[in-house]
Structure 1
Amino acid sequence: MLEFTGENEMEQSREELWPYFTDPDILAEAAPGCKEMILESPHEITAVLAVGVGSVKPEFEVDAVVTNIEYPEVLELTAVGQAPRNEFEMTATMELVEQEDGGTVVDWEAKADVSGTIVSLGSRALKSVTNRLVKKYFSDMQAIIEEGREAESKLEEAPADATENMDVEIES
Protein backbone atom coordinates (compact mmCIF):
# COMPACT_ATOMS: atom_id res chain seq x y z
CA MET A 1 0.00 0.00 0.00
CA LEU A 2 1.37 3.37 -1.02
CA GLU A 3 0.07 6.53 0.61
CA PHE A 4 0.52 10.01 -0.78
CA THR A 5 -0.53 13.29 0.83
CA GLY A 6 0.06 16.94 0.17
CA GLU A 7 -1.36 20.40 -0.02
CA ASN A 8 -1.30 23.20 -2.51
CA GLU A 9 -2.11 26.85 -1.82
CA MET A 10 -4.18 28.68 -4.43
CA GLU A 11 -5.28 32.32 -4.51
CA GLN A 12 -8.86 31.69 -5.59
CA SER A 13 -11.84 30.87 -3.36
CA ARG A 14 -12.99 27.27 -3.27
CA GLU A 15 -16.21 28.28 -5.09
CA GLU A 16 -14.05 29.69 -7.90
CA LEU A 17 -11.83 26.58 -7.97
CA TRP A 18 -14.58 23.93 -7.78
CA PRO A 19 -15.62 24.01 -11.47
CA TYR A 20 -11.99 23.49 -12.54
CA PHE A 21 -11.50 20.43 -10.32
CA THR A 22 -14.81 18.91 -11.47
CA ASP A 23 -14.60 19.56 -15.23
CA PRO A 24 -13.17 16.47 -17.00
CA ASP A 25 -11.98 18.55 -19.98
CA ILE A 26 -9.91 20.78 -17.68
CA LEU A 27 -8.72 17.78 -15.65
CA ALA A 28 -7.58 16.02 -18.83
CA GLU A 29 -5.58 19.05 -19.87
CA ALA A 30 -3.93 19.52 -16.47
CA ALA A 31 -3.23 15.85 -15.66
CA PRO A 32 0.32 14.89 -16.67
CA GLY A 33 0.40 11.98 -19.08
CA CYS A 34 -3.33 12.09 -19.79
CA LYS A 35 -3.91 11.00 -23.39
CA GLU A 36 -7.69 10.81 -23.14
CA MET A 37 -10.43 11.38 -20.58
CA ILE A 38 -14.09 10.60 -21.23
CA LEU A 39 -17.03 11.38 -18.98
CA GLU A 40 -19.09 8.19 -19.37
CA SER A 41 -21.75 9.46 -16.93
CA PRO A 42 -21.78 12.25 -14.32
CA HIS A 43 -20.03 9.89 -11.89
CA GLU A 44 -17.94 7.64 -14.20
CA ILE A 45 -14.74 8.59 -16.00
CA THR A 46 -12.53 6.53 -18.26
CA ALA A 47 -9.04 7.71 -19.11
CA VAL A 48 -5.78 6.68 -20.71
CA LEU A 49 -2.74 7.76 -18.71
CA ALA A 50 0.88 7.25 -19.72
CA VAL A 51 3.14 7.45 -16.69
CA GLY A 52 6.89 6.99 -16.80
CA VAL A 53 8.76 5.82 -13.73
CA GLY A 54 12.40 5.36 -14.64
CA SER A 55 12.65 2.92 -17.54
CA VAL A 56 9.09 1.64 -16.98
CA LYS A 57 6.51 3.63 -18.98
CA PRO A 58 3.14 1.88 -18.79
CA GLU A 59 0.02 3.27 -20.44
CA PHE A 60 -2.92 2.66 -18.09
CA GLU A 61 -6.55 2.30 -19.05
CA VAL A 62 -8.33 3.77 -16.04
CA ASP A 63 -11.90 3.48 -14.79
CA ALA A 64 -12.84 5.95 -12.05
CA VAL A 65 -16.01 6.51 -10.06
CA VAL A 66 -16.83 9.61 -8.00
CA THR A 67 -17.74 8.23 -4.58
CA ASN A 68 -18.35 11.45 -2.64
CA ILE A 69 -18.99 15.09 -3.47
CA GLU A 70 -19.65 17.82 -0.96
CA TYR A 71 -19.77 21.11 -2.89
CA PRO A 72 -17.47 23.11 -2.74
CA GLU A 73 -15.35 21.24 -0.28
CA VAL A 74 -14.76 17.52 -0.86
CA LEU A 75 -14.23 15.32 -3.90
CA GLU A 76 -13.46 11.60 -3.53
CA LEU A 77 -13.04 8.93 -6.15
CA THR A 78 -11.92 5.37 -6.60
CA ALA A 79 -10.05 4.17 -9.64
CA VAL A 80 -8.60 1.03 -11.13
CA GLY A 81 -5.98 1.10 -13.85
CA GLN A 82 -4.55 -1.62 -16.02
CA ALA A 83 -1.56 -1.67 -18.34
CA PRO A 84 0.47 -4.59 -19.67
CA ARG A 85 2.16 -6.23 -16.65
CA ASN A 86 1.00 -3.40 -14.33
CA GLU A 87 -2.12 -2.43 -12.45
CA PHE A 88 -3.31 -0.26 -9.60
CA GLU A 89 -6.32 0.31 -7.39
CA MET A 90 -6.66 3.61 -5.57
CA THR A 91 -8.82 5.94 -3.60
CA ALA A 92 -8.21 9.67 -3.71
CA THR A 93 -9.63 12.55 -1.70
CA MET A 94 -9.32 16.27 -2.28
CA GLU A 95 -10.52 18.82 0.25
CA LEU A 96 -10.72 22.55 -0.49
CA VAL A 97 -10.07 24.45 2.74
CA GLU A 98 -11.07 28.10 2.79
CA GLN A 99 -8.46 30.52 4.12
CA GLU A 100 -9.02 33.85 5.89
CA ASP A 101 -7.31 35.74 3.03
CA GLY A 102 -9.91 34.43 0.55
CA GLY A 103 -7.59 31.82 -0.93
CA THR A 104 -7.84 28.06 -0.65
CA VAL A 105 -5.58 25.26 0.48
CA VAL A 106 -6.14 22.08 -1.49
CA ASP A 107 -5.44 19.12 0.80
CA TRP A 108 -5.18 15.83 -1.05
CA GLU A 109 -4.43 12.23 -0.25
CA ALA A 110 -4.32 9.03 -2.24
CA LYS A 111 -3.92 5.42 -1.21
CA ALA A 112 -2.92 2.94 -3.86
CA ASP A 113 -2.21 -0.73 -4.25
CA VAL A 114 0.19 -1.08 -7.17
CA SER A 115 1.35 -4.32 -8.75
CA GLY A 116 3.49 -5.33 -11.68
CA THR A 117 6.83 -4.22 -13.07
CA ILE A 118 6.34 -0.66 -11.86
CA VAL A 119 6.60 -1.92 -8.25
CA SER A 120 10.12 -3.19 -8.90
CA LEU A 121 11.29 0.43 -8.91
CA GLY A 122 10.45 0.75 -5.22
CA SER A 123 8.16 2.99 -3.24
CA ARG A 124 10.74 5.78 -2.98
CA ALA A 125 10.92 6.13 -6.78
CA LEU A 126 7.13 5.92 -7.08
CA LYS A 127 6.64 8.60 -4.42
CA SER A 128 9.23 10.85 -6.04
CA VAL A 129 7.55 10.57 -9.45
CA THR A 130 4.10 11.05 -7.92
CA ASN A 131 5.20 14.21 -6.10
CA ARG A 132 6.67 15.60 -9.33
CA LEU A 133 3.47 14.80 -11.28
CA VAL A 134 1.23 16.34 -8.62
CA LYS A 135 3.34 19.51 -8.56
CA LYS A 136 3.04 19.76 -12.37
CA TYR A 137 -0.71 19.11 -12.19
CA PHE A 138 -1.31 21.98 -9.74
CA SER A 139 1.01 24.28 -11.70
CA ASP A 140 -0.84 23.54 -14.95
CA MET A 141 -4.22 23.88 -13.21
CA GLN A 142 -3.21 27.27 -11.78
CA ALA A 143 -2.15 28.43 -15.26
CA ILE A 144 -5.51 27.35 -16.75
CA ILE A 145 -7.39 29.17 -13.98
CA GLU A 146 -5.32 32.34 -14.37
CA GLU A 147 -6.02 32.33 -18.12
CA GLY A 148 -9.66 32.75 -17.13
CA ARG A 149 -10.69 29.67 -19.09
CA GLU A 150 -14.33 28.63 -18.73
CA ALA A 151 -14.89 25.55 -16.58
CA GLU A 152 -18.11 23.71 -15.88
CA SER A 153 -18.68 21.36 -12.97
CA LYS A 154 -19.81 18.07 -14.53
CA LEU A 155 -19.15 15.50 -11.82
CA GLU A 156 -21.75 14.04 -9.47
CA GLU A 157 -21.56 11.50 -6.69
CA ALA A 158 -22.31 7.96 -7.80
CA PRO A 159 -25.34 6.14 -6.46
CA ALA A 160 -24.42 3.71 -3.67
CA ASP A 161 -24.54 0.66 -5.96
CA ALA A 162 -22.32 2.15 -8.70
CA THR A 163 -19.04 1.13 -7.04
CA GLU A 164 -20.09 -2.50 -6.52
CA ASN A 165 -18.60 -3.51 -9.88
CA MET A 166 -15.22 -2.02 -9.04
CA ASP A 167 -12.63 -4.21 -7.34
CA VAL A 168 -11.31 -1.53 -5.02
CA GLU A 169 -10.81 -2.67 -1.45
CA ILE A 170 -8.32 -0.30 0.09
CA GLU A 171 -8.20 -0.22 3.86
CA SER A 172 -7.52 3.02 5.67
Structure 2
Amino acid sequence: MELHDSRVIAAPRSKVWEALLSADILKECVPGCKEMSGTAENGFAATVVQKVGPVKATFKGEVTLSDMVDQESVKLSGEGKGGAAGFAKGAADVTLSDAPEGTLLAYNVDARVGGKLAQLGGRVIDGVAKKMADQFFENFQNAVEEEPQPAPAEAAPEPAAAPAVSEVSVEPAQAAPPPEEKKGWFKRLFGG
Protein backbone atom coordinates (compact mmCIF):
# COMPACT_ATOMS: atom_id res chain seq x y z
CA MET A 1 0.00 0.00 0.00
CA GLU A 2 1.35 3.41 -0.98
CA LEU A 3 0.32 6.89 0.13
CA HIS A 4 1.46 10.20 -1.31
CA ASP A 5 0.51 13.58 0.10
CA SER A 6 1.85 16.93 1.21
CA ARG A 7 0.92 19.79 3.46
CA VAL A 8 2.15 23.28 4.14
CA ILE A 9 3.34 23.91 7.68
CA ALA A 10 3.44 27.52 8.84
CA ALA A 11 6.93 27.32 10.29
CA PRO A 12 10.48 27.71 9.01
CA ARG A 13 12.13 24.65 7.51
CA SER A 14 14.68 24.44 10.36
CA LYS A 15 11.89 24.12 12.95
CA VAL A 16 10.09 21.43 10.92
CA TRP A 17 13.36 19.51 10.51
CA GLU A 18 14.12 19.63 14.25
CA ALA A 19 10.62 18.34 15.00
CA LEU A 20 11.05 15.41 12.60
CA LEU A 21 14.12 14.35 14.58
CA SER A 22 12.59 14.76 18.05
CA ALA A 23 11.39 11.66 19.95
CA ASP A 24 9.14 13.83 22.15
CA ILE A 25 7.33 15.45 19.23
CA LEU A 26 7.04 12.18 17.31
CA LYS A 27 5.52 10.52 20.39
CA GLU A 28 2.86 13.26 20.53
CA CYS A 29 2.07 12.80 16.85
CA VAL A 30 1.96 9.03 16.28
CA PRO A 31 -1.63 7.87 16.87
CA GLY A 32 -1.76 5.45 19.80
CA CYS A 33 1.91 5.94 20.75
CA LYS A 34 2.49 5.08 24.41
CA GLU A 35 6.29 5.25 24.50
CA MET A 36 9.00 6.66 22.25
CA SER A 37 12.68 6.87 23.03
CA GLY A 38 15.96 7.15 21.21
CA THR A 39 17.69 9.60 18.93
CA ALA A 40 17.72 10.38 15.24
CA GLU A 41 21.30 9.06 14.99
CA ASN A 42 20.58 5.71 16.68
CA GLY A 43 16.91 5.26 15.79
CA PHE A 44 13.78 5.31 17.90
CA ALA A 45 12.07 2.54 19.87
CA ALA A 46 8.30 2.86 20.15
CA THR A 47 5.25 1.16 21.65
CA VAL A 48 2.00 1.84 19.81
CA VAL A 49 -1.49 0.55 20.61
CA GLN A 50 -3.80 0.42 17.59
CA LYS A 51 -7.14 -1.05 16.69
CA VAL A 52 -7.53 -2.15 13.09
CA GLY A 53 -11.04 -3.40 12.46
CA PRO A 54 -11.73 -6.03 15.14
CA VAL A 55 -8.02 -6.50 15.92
CA LYS A 56 -6.49 -4.45 18.74
CA ALA A 57 -2.80 -4.92 19.31
CA THR A 58 0.22 -3.43 20.99
CA PHE A 59 3.07 -3.02 18.54
CA LYS A 60 6.64 -2.75 19.69
CA GLY A 61 9.09 -1.68 17.09
CA GLU A 62 11.92 0.47 15.90
CA VAL A 63 12.22 3.35 13.48
CA THR A 64 15.49 4.22 11.78
CA LEU A 65 16.33 7.37 9.88
CA SER A 66 18.48 7.22 6.77
CA ASP A 67 19.31 9.15 3.60
CA MET A 68 19.29 12.34 5.67
CA VAL A 69 19.98 15.59 3.84
CA ASP A 70 19.92 18.35 6.46
CA GLN A 71 16.62 20.29 6.32
CA GLU A 72 15.74 18.74 2.95
CA SER A 73 14.88 15.05 3.17
CA VAL A 74 14.89 11.94 5.31
CA LYS A 75 13.74 8.34 4.99
CA LEU A 76 11.97 6.87 8.03
CA SER A 77 11.87 3.06 8.05
CA GLY A 78 10.17 1.03 10.71
CA GLU A 79 8.85 -2.33 11.71
CA GLY A 80 6.54 -3.22 14.56
CA LYS A 81 5.47 -6.59 15.89
CA GLY A 82 2.03 -6.98 17.40
CA GLY A 83 2.21 -10.55 18.67
CA ALA A 84 -0.65 -12.71 17.37
CA ALA A 85 -2.06 -9.69 15.49
CA GLY A 86 0.89 -9.77 13.13
CA PHE A 87 3.34 -7.14 12.04
CA ALA A 88 3.49 -3.84 10.22
CA LYS A 89 6.47 -2.44 8.41
CA GLY A 90 7.04 0.41 6.08
CA ALA A 91 9.02 3.42 5.04
CA ALA A 92 8.25 7.08 4.51
CA ASP A 93 10.30 9.38 2.30
CA VAL A 94 9.82 12.90 3.63
CA THR A 95 10.99 16.01 1.78
CA LEU A 96 10.95 19.62 2.90
CA SER A 97 10.97 22.68 0.67
CA ASP A 98 10.23 26.36 1.06
CA ALA A 99 6.66 27.58 0.54
CA PRO A 100 5.27 31.13 0.72
CA GLU A 101 3.39 30.23 3.93
CA GLY A 102 6.28 28.32 5.55
CA THR A 103 7.47 24.81 4.68
CA LEU A 104 6.04 22.30 2.24
CA LEU A 105 6.29 18.79 3.71
CA ALA A 106 5.74 16.05 1.13
CA TYR A 107 5.70 12.35 1.91
CA ASN A 108 5.54 8.99 0.16
CA VAL A 109 4.64 6.08 2.41
CA ASP A 110 4.94 2.42 1.52
CA ALA A 111 3.54 0.05 4.19
CA ARG A 112 2.92 -3.68 4.52
CA VAL A 113 1.20 -5.82 7.11
CA GLY A 114 1.19 -9.52 7.87
CA GLY A 115 -0.48 -12.01 10.20
CA LYS A 116 -4.09 -11.50 11.33
CA LEU A 117 -3.93 -7.91 10.11
CA ALA A 118 -3.34 -9.06 6.55
CA GLN A 119 -6.48 -11.24 6.73
CA LEU A 120 -8.66 -8.15 7.22
CA GLY A 121 -8.37 -7.25 3.56
CA GLY A 122 -6.73 -4.51 1.60
CA ARG A 123 -9.59 -1.99 1.80
CA VAL A 124 -9.69 -2.06 5.61
CA ILE A 125 -5.90 -1.90 5.92
CA ASP A 126 -5.58 0.89 3.33
CA GLY A 127 -8.32 2.92 5.03
CA VAL A 128 -6.73 2.60 8.47
CA ALA A 129 -3.25 3.32 7.13
CA LYS A 130 -4.43 6.45 5.32
CA LYS A 131 -6.31 7.63 8.41
CA MET A 132 -3.23 7.07 10.60
CA ALA A 133 -0.92 8.86 8.17
CA ASP A 134 -3.32 11.80 7.88
CA GLN A 135 -3.70 11.95 11.66
CA PHE A 136 0.06 11.77 12.19
CA PHE A 137 0.81 14.62 9.78
CA GLU A 138 -2.09 16.72 11.12
CA ASN A 139 -0.81 16.20 14.69
CA PHE A 140 2.72 16.98 13.48
CA GLN A 141 1.56 20.17 11.78
CA ASN A 142 -0.32 21.27 14.93
CA ALA A 143 2.69 20.50 17.15
CA VAL A 144 5.11 22.46 14.95
CA GLU A 145 2.77 25.40 14.35
CA GLU A 146 1.75 25.64 18.01
CA GLU A 147 1.61 29.28 18.91
CA PRO A 148 3.95 30.43 21.66
CA GLN A 149 2.16 31.37 24.84
CA PRO A 150 1.29 35.08 24.90
CA ALA A 151 3.38 37.29 27.14
CA PRO A 152 1.76 38.24 30.44
CA ALA A 153 -0.67 41.10 30.01
CA GLU A 154 0.83 44.47 30.67
CA ALA A 155 -0.50 46.49 33.58
CA ALA A 156 -3.66 48.34 32.70
CA PRO A 157 -3.08 52.02 31.97
CA GLU A 158 -3.84 54.33 34.83
CA PRO A 159 -7.29 55.91 34.64
CA ALA A 160 -7.46 59.44 33.32
CA ALA A 161 -7.38 62.16 35.94
CA ALA A 162 -10.76 63.26 37.25
CA PRO A 163 -12.09 66.32 35.44
CA ALA A 164 -11.64 69.67 37.09
CA VAL A 165 -14.58 70.95 39.14
CA SER A 166 -15.31 73.67 36.62
CA GLU A 167 -15.94 70.99 33.96
CA VAL A 168 -18.48 69.07 35.99
CA SER A 169 -22.11 69.97 35.50
CA VAL A 170 -24.32 69.57 38.51
CA GLU A 171 -27.92 68.55 38.08
CA PRO A 172 -30.48 68.81 40.81
CA ALA A 173 -30.72 65.66 42.86
CA GLN A 174 -33.87 63.67 42.65
CA ALA A 175 -35.37 62.38 45.81
CA ALA A 176 -34.66 58.73 46.27
CA PRO A 177 -37.68 56.55 46.97
CA PRO A 178 -38.01 55.55 50.60
CA PRO A 179 -36.29 52.25 51.28
CA GLU A 180 -38.62 49.28 51.50
CA GLU A 181 -38.49 47.25 54.60
CA LYS A 182 -36.91 43.96 53.71
CA LYS A 183 -38.50 40.92 55.16
CA GLY A 184 -36.94 37.53 55.39
CA TRP A 185 -38.72 34.55 53.93
CA PHE A 186 -39.90 33.48 57.38
CA LYS A 187 -41.63 36.83 58.01
CA ARG A 188 -43.18 36.87 54.55
CA LEU A 189 -44.48 33.35 55.05
CA PHE A 190 -46.09 34.05 58.40
CA GLY A 191 -47.01 37.70 57.72
CA GLY A 192 -44.75 39.03 60.43
In the superposition, the TM-score normalised over structure 1's length comes to 0.77
1:41 deviates by 6.9
Cα distance, 1:47 vs structure 2 = 0.4
| Structure index of larger Rg | 2
Once residues 128 and 103 of structure 1 are traced to their aligned partners in structure 2, the CA distance between those partners, rounded to angstroms, is 29
Aligned to 1:89: 89
* Higher RCO (C-alpha 8 Å, min separation 6): 1
- The whole-number CA distance in structure 1 between the counterparts of 2:105 and 2:66 is 18
Question: Structure 1 segments of 4 or more deviating over 4 A?
Answer: none
Q: 2 CA distance for matches of 1:104 and 1:33?
A: 26
Determine the C-alpha separation between the residues in 1 that align with 2:39 and 2:137. 24
Can you list the C-alpha shifts for 1:28-63, whole angstroms capped at 9, x where unaligned?
011111010110672321101112111111211111
**SS of residue matched to 2:113:** strand
**% identical equivalent positions:** 25
**SS of match in other structure, 1:141:** helix
CA distance in 1, matches of 2:96, 2:48: 25
Matched to 1:20, the amino acid is A
- The aligned residue for residue 76 of structure 1 is 75
Of 69-78 and 133-142, deviating more is 133-142
Rounded to whole Å, the distance in 2 between the matches of 1:146 and 1:22 is 16
Structure 2 Cα separation of the partners of residues 49 and 71 of structure 1: 28
Aligned equivalent of 1:161 = none
RMSD: 1.8
Tell me the equivalent position of 2:51. 52
- The DSSP-based 3-state class of the residue aligned with 2:26 is helix
- The amino acid across from 2:132 in the alignment is L
> Is the alpha carbon distance of 1:89 and 1:135 closer, same or farther for their aligned partners in structure 2, counting shifts above 3 Å?
closer
For normalisation by structure 2, the TM-score amounts to 0.69
